[in-house]
Chains A and B, each alone.
Chain A
Amino acid sequence: AQKVTQAQTEISVVEKEDVTLDCVYETRDTTYYLFWYKQPPSGELVFLIRRNSFDEQNEISGRYSWNFQKSTSSFNFTITASQVVDSAVYFCALSEVATGRRALTFGSGTRLQVQP
């Protein structure tokens, strides 16, 4: 069965520090998608990135970057020069394609607190 593990429950950093959020996944499917979502204190789920299992290229979007490594089943997320507005709960998630189970399986989330 599919599983997503975010071992870091909570991380606290000072503004302008870099921070990496870890995500490890398990799946038997050869075709799957990985996601990161942000949940700010207001509660909505904000889409950050979607990556398919055949694309291991790292991605950078402004201060955000993602490192996908199939060899270690990891999809880590780095925020460079963190800001107070980055304070939120971040979720890594997985959806499988071949099994037809298109629902997302979420990790338990990592709460990031950025102190001014």
Chain B
Amino acid sequence: DTAVSQTPKYLVTQMGNDKSIKCEQNLGHDTMYWYKQDSKKFLKIMFSYNNKELIINETVPNRFSPKSPDKAHLNLHINSLELGDSAVYFCASSPLGTGGRGYTFGSGTRLTVV
């Protein structure tokens, strides 16, 4: 069973469209995250949710809206996609304590805006 699963793995879409990326974890973790990796490989936190409550919201355009229906899911919705949104988006989760490996990452979603 995949611990943190993201769908889709690849997403190609036109500018101006709205798209969503889904993330689910089956580890029982209470905190979930979205990270963005740009073309230069820089990895940066976008959002963090703890038990469905938003706790980190970095400087991200408000076209990006995370939604957490329950603590096992954290979806990312992007409105009016722009070329600069092209990147790899990673979902991750972590337990309340930071035991073990601390963070488990999904395999990433490569978003290409054309």
Residues of A whose CB lies within 8 Å of any CB of B are 33, 35, 39, 43-45, 47, 50, 89, 91, 95, 97, 100-106, 108-109, 111
Inter-subunit contact B41/A104 (CB<8 Å): no
Q: Please report B residues at the A interface, Cβ cutoff 8 Å.
A: 31, 33, 35, 40-45, 48, 55-56, 88, 90, 92, 94, 98, 100-103, 105, 107-108, 110
16 A-B residue pairings within 8 Å (CB atoms) = A43-B107, A43-B108, A44-B107, A45-B108, A50-B101, A102-B48, A102-B98, A103-B48, A104-B33, A104-B43, A104-B45, A104-B103, A108-B40, A108-B42, A109-B41, A111-B41
Q: Are A47 and B101 in contact, CB atoms less than 8 angstroms apart?
A: yes
Q: Which of B43, B55, B101 contacts A106 (CB 8 A)?
A: B43
Give the chain B neighbours of A103 by CB distance below 8 A: 33, 45, 48, 56
Interface of B is mostly: strand
A86 to B31, CA, bound (A): 31
Q: Do B48 and A45 touch across chains, with their CB atoms under 8 A apart?
A: no
Given known contacts A102-B31, A102-B98, A43 and B103 CB-to-CB distance under 8 angstroms:
no
Contacts of B108 in A (CB 8 A): 43-45
Contact A43 B88 (CB under 8 A): yes
Interface centre among B94, B101, B103, B105 (most CB of A within 10 A): B103
Which B residue's beta carbon lies closest to that of A101? B56
Which listed residue, A50, A89, A97, touches B41 by the CB 8 Å rule?
A: A89
Q: Which of B42, B43, B55, B110 is in CB contact (< 8 Å) with A100?
A: B55
Cα A106 to Cα B94 in complex, Å, equals 16
With A91-B43, A103-B48 in contact, do A44 and B105 touch (Cβ < 8 Å)? yes
Is the beta-carbon distance between A45 and B90 smaller than 8 angstroms? yes
A39 CA / B105 CA spacing, docked (Å): 12
Q: How far is the CB of A102 from chain B (nearest CB, A)?
A: 6
**How many whole Å from B20's CB to the nearest CB in chain A?**
21
Determine how close the nearest CB of chain B comes to the CB of A34; give it in whole angstroms: 10
CB distance from A105 to the nearest CB of B (A): 7
